[in-house]
Chains A and B, each alone.
Chain A
Amino acid sequence: MQGDFKKLSEIKLGESAVIESFTDDTMKLKLLEMGCLPGEVVTVTRFAPFGDPMAIAVADSMLSLRMSEAANVLVSVRS
């Protein structure tokens, strides 16, 4: 499991991953308070028509975020 971090923006449609850390401070605070915590499972549920933004299912809600924002979230893919 170790060392295999990906960006959330690289996860494919329908796949799940576990949030590990954030590479941007402002984004981190915003996402944390909305319940995107390290250890939570995120599932990529949808992409908007031009491939951006993406919708993710995390905890009990569906969130939308832009690819540039998702690139600041590091995740590990469960095997």
Chain B
Amino acid sequence: MIKRLKVSLVGNPNSGKSTLFNRLTGLNQKIANFPGVTVEKKTGSMTINSGDGFDYQIDITDLPGTYSLYPKTLEEQIPFQVLCDPTNESHPDVTVIIADGTNLKRSLFLCSQIVDLKSPAILVVNMMDQVTKSGVEINFIRLSKELGIPVIPMNARDGDGIDFLKKAIISKITVPENDFIDTALFAPEVVQSIRQSVKLNSNYVAFQIANNIDQISFFNDRQERRAQIKEILNRHGFDHSIMQASETLKRYEVISLLVKQVVKAKNAIPSKEKTFTKKLDNLLMHRFWGYFIFLAILFVIFQAVFAWAAWPMEMVDEAFTWMSIKVHDAIPEGVFNDLLVEGILAGLGGVVIFIPQIVLLFTFIAILEDTGYMARVSFMMDKLLRRFGLNGRSVIPLISGVACAVPAILSARTIASWKERLITILVTPLMSCSARLPVYALLISLVVPDHKYLGIIGLQGLVLFALYLIGFIAAMGSALLMKFLVKAKERSYFIMEIPVYRMPRWKNIGYTIVEKVRVFIFEAGKVIVAISVVLWVLSSSGPGAAFKDVKSQLETADPADTQLQNHLAAEKLRLSYAGITGRAIEPIIEPLGFDWKIGIALITSFAAREVFVGTMSTIYSVGGSDEDIATVREKMMAEKNDKTGLPQYNLAVGWSLMLFYAFAMQCMSTMAVVRRETGSWKWPLIQFAFMGVLAYISSFIIFRILS
């Protein structure tokens, strides 16, 4: 027989909830060493065999961290809604509370609130390895008795204690008998009146409702109920902040006594982690060296991404060329062959080749996050970023925006002030993400000579670095502008916990990278294949007699006369549907130095930037007729401007295009996530327009200057 159970993991930020979640479900939630990694709820499942004929199918929900049941930031709303709204789809049958054993007092605060909700709960005391190392002993039996719920010691990193937890989850858990503290004492009439009007488990649930009446989504469909309760609150002059403060103080008073009874610091040595952290911080957070080291780390990352990735990239390139030739030879000549080889394979190759660089970039970011260094960078940058209307916590979105803007924008949830969060969301897409890398690299190889300075520093690498820097400067400049335009309602905060340093978990980082690369290839691949096919159809068919005429001329033309062939193929493309569209927008983009062929690429890469390479290769293989497989780069190199007869991709056009891709919002996924995070289409549309104008003006100026 199968029984189903719903379990939620709640606890303070950075206490190891996601680590435990991954252990239990075998999934791969992001883990890192700073508070606020998980900002969305995520559900997974596991089965537990009880040994007496029952199989338990357990749905486990990993939640963002929170310090209390009084949410203060957006991500803290989620555990609150799940626990305090009985109609929530993830409302648990069993709540598993994860405490950080090295910070038991604060963890017990949230725990005691959940105990008072009077629903089945288990306390997991995590980080036991560190607790033991620092010579501290915890009396779990006593703790369990006092709280009235099962308590399980755990080391989620290594998996010690997992089996006990599984057993506890499927055992019959009774709700705690006694209140941890009786909150009715603070507001007796209010608690009583609420309990009379709604059926509730405990006094504390009533007290919770009184404090959070506007936030509990349960009352969204029960507005008359909400009004009724608000009336009760008004009548008794219920003051939220006094009530919450009294509750907090009372809880900590009881917890202090409890901790004295159950925690024995036998030979309390300051834990190795803490001493080590202090020493390392003296260096890494030093007034001067702190910044210097941060810049040095960034520089090393960029150099490494371009130097170390060169060799594997060549291998990928060769593998793709080899494959293209094989496929080209294996399938009969014709439209289908061209589509497969020169549209899809070339488009995919243009993206796949960047995997080595993306892997390196992601690895470095993951290491910075998993050691705990990112929290330090936030700390050091807060004052600087505040001048630009941002927050120290904006560091994480900005840096992870170099990989991809979508998760970066989600991570801005931990910023408590709406204005700072909004500005962070609006400027993050200006950071050069990994989808721009293929575009930059192709264009740089076309227009920037391969000079070397001092033997090691390459000019092409420098230009690439400059493009990233330009993206960052644009982000900061725009932030400054928005700081004056966006009206602020609330004050901003920077109260954040700084974790101890931890050794990164290589296996965890490895899994994360594999997962990210898989998603990248898969997502990019889908779009590229789809757009290649559509583009192929649109560029090899066209309206009217003129197109038909050229097409039949091309078919009957003398194969030996390559000049005529090329001329006819180009004419055919010009008259095709794609060509017509490109020519329609040509007047708008001509001032930037772009012709209608680039116009087609701009349209196709509206949905995703990395489509650029595939589009270019499709266009140039339809537009030319040479039989040998030249790379996109060679084809673009050979392209002549219709009017001047000089190479089309000169320095001016190259830079103009690069700046356009650096600034323009060409990513549907980013727009969708901005809409979700800001709640309306207003901001993504403003962002789209702003970035578009910025891109147009910058390209226009650079094109004028260079040509």
Q: Which A residues lie at the B interface, using CB under 8 A?
A: 25-35, 37-38, 45-53, 55, 59-66, 69
List of B residues within 8 angstroms of A26 by Cβ? 241, 491
Pair A60/B102 contact, Cβ less than 8 Å: yes
Pair B383/A50 contact, Cβ less than 8 Å: yes
Among candidates B105, B291, B494, residue contacting A65 with C-beta atoms closer than 8 Å: B494
Among candidates B103, B106, B491, B498, residue contacting A64 with C-beta atoms closer than 8 Å: B498
Pair B105/A35 contact, Cβ less than 8 Å: yes
A49-B496 Cα distance, complex, nearest whole Å = 17
**Which chain B residues numbered 25 to 61 have a C-beta less than 8 Å away from chain A?**
none
Pair B498/A48 contact, Cβ less than 8 Å: no
Q: How far is the CB of A58 from chain B (nearest CB, A)?
A: 10
Interface on chain A toward B: helix, strand, loop, or mixed SS? mixed
Among candidates A31, A37, A64, residue contacting B494 with C-beta atoms closer than 8 Å: A64
Which among A48, A51, A65 has the greatest number of chain B C-beta atoms within 10 A? Answer: A48
Interface membership of B68, Cβ < 8 A? yes
Pair B288/A66 contact, Cβ less than 8 Å: no
**Which chain B residues numbered 58 to 74 have a C-beta less than 8 Å away from chain A?**
67-68, 70, 72
User: What would be 26 A-B contacts, judged by CB atoms less than 8 Å apart?
Assistant: A28-B245, A29-B70, A30-B493, A32-B245, A33-B67, A34-B495, A35-B103, A35-B106, A35-B109, A46-B281, A48-B380, A49-B383, A50-B383, A50-B384, A53-B382, A53-B383, A53-B494, A59-B105, A60-B103, A60-B104, A60-B105, A61-B498, A63-B496, A63-B498, A65-B495, A66-B493
Pair A69/B493 contact, Cβ less than 8 Å: yes
Pair A61/B380 contact, Cβ less than 8 Å: no
Interface membership of B606, Cβ < 8 A? no
Pair A30/B379 contact, Cβ less than 8 Å: no
Among candidates B106, B379, B497, residue contacting A53 with C-beta atoms closer than 8 Å: B379
Closest to A40 in B: B252
Pair A55/B245 contact, Cβ less than 8 Å: no
Pair B494/A69 contact, Cβ less than 8 Å: yes
A55-B103 Cα distance, complex, nearest whole Å = 17
Closest to B68 in A: A33
Interface membership of B285, Cβ < 8 A? yes
Pair B241/A25 contact, Cβ less than 8 Å: yes
Pair B382/A66 contact, Cβ less than 8 Å: yes
A57-B382 Cα distance, complex, nearest whole Å = 19
List of B residues within 8 angstroms of A29 by Cβ? 70, 72, 241, 244-245, 248
Pair A48/B291 contact, Cβ less than 8 Å: no
A46-B249 Cα distance, complex, nearest whole Å = 27
A69-B386 Cα distance, complex, nearest whole Å = 14
Q: How far is the CB of B193 from chain A (nearest CB, A)?
A: 24
Interface membership of B507, Cβ < 8 A? no
Pair B287/A60 contact, Cβ less than 8 Å: no
Pair A34/B106 contact, Cβ less than 8 Å: yes
A33-B245 Cα distance, complex, nearest whole Å = 9
Q: How far is the CB of A69 from chain B (nearest CB, A)?
A: 6
Pair A31/B288 contact, Cβ less than 8 Å: no
Contact with A along B364-389 (1 / 0, CB 8 A): 00000000000000111011100000
Q: How large is the interface on B (under 10, 10 to 19, 20 to 34, 35 or more residues)?
A: 35 or more
Interface membership of B153, Cβ < 8 A? no
Given known contacts A32-B248, A37-B249, is B379 in contact with A55 (CB within 8 Å)?
A: yes
List of B residues within 8 angstroms of A66 by Cβ? 382, 493-494
Interface membership of B392, Cβ < 8 A? yes
Pair A52/B383 contact, Cβ less than 8 Å: yes
List of A residues within 8 angstroms of B287 by Cβ? 47, 49
Interface membership of B349, Cβ < 8 A? no
Closest to B384 in A: A50
List of B residues within 8 angstroms of A63 by Cβ? 495-498
List of B residues within 8 angstroms of A35 by Cβ? 103, 105-106, 109, 252
Pair B383/A62 contact, Cβ less than 8 Å: no
Q: How far is the CB of A70 from chain B (nearest CB, A)?
A: 10
A72-B208 Cα distance, complex, nearest whole Å = 27
List of A residues within 8 angstroms of B291 by Cβ? 49
Q: How far is the CB of A35 from chain B (nearest CB, A)?
A: 4
List of A residues within 8 angstroms of B382 by Cβ? 48, 52-53, 64, 66
Closest 8 CB pairs of A and B: A33-B68, A35-B106, A60-B103, A32-B248, A62-B498, A25-B241, A50-B383, A49-B287
Given known contacts A25-B241, A49-B288, A52-B382, is B495 in contact with A69 (CB within 8 Å)?
A: yes
A51-B495 Cα distance, complex, nearest whole Å = 16
Among candidates B103, B252, B285, B378, residue contacting A46 with C-beta atoms closer than 8 Å: B285
Among candidates B67, B281, B285, residue contacting A34 with C-beta atoms closer than 8 Å: B67
Among candidates B245, B285, B491, B497, residue contacting A48 with C-beta atoms closer than 8 Å: B285
A37-B109 Cα distance, complex, nearest whole Å = 12
Interface membership of B591, Cβ < 8 A? no
Besides A32-B252, A64-B378, A64-B379, 15 other A-B contacts (C-beta < 8 A): A29-B70, A29-B245, A32-B248, A33-B68, A33-B70, A35-B105, A35-B252, A45-B278, A49-B287, A50-B384, A60-B103, A63-B498, A65-B496, A66-B493, A69-B495
Contact with A along B80-109 (1 / 0, CB 8 A): 000000000000000000000011111001
A33-B241 Cα distance, complex, nearest whole Å = 12
List of B residues within 8 angstroms of A28 by Cβ? 241, 245
List of B residues within 8 angstroms of A25 by Cβ? 241, 245
Closest to A65 in B: B495
Pair B495/A30 contact, Cβ less than 8 Å: yes
Interface membership of B161, Cβ < 8 A? no
Q: How far is the CB of B452 from chain A (nearest CB, A)?
A: 35
Interface membership of B290, Cβ < 8 A? yes
A47-B290 Cα distance, complex, nearest whole Å = 12
Pair B497/A61 contact, Cβ less than 8 Å: yes
Pair B106/A59 contact, Cβ less than 8 Å: yes
Contact with A along B482-494 (1 / 0, CB 8 A): 0000000001011
List of A residues within 8 angstroms of B252 by Cβ? 32, 35, 37
**Which chain B residues numbered 627 to 682 have a C-beta less than 8 Å away from chain A?**
none
Pair A64/B68 contact, Cβ less than 8 Å: no
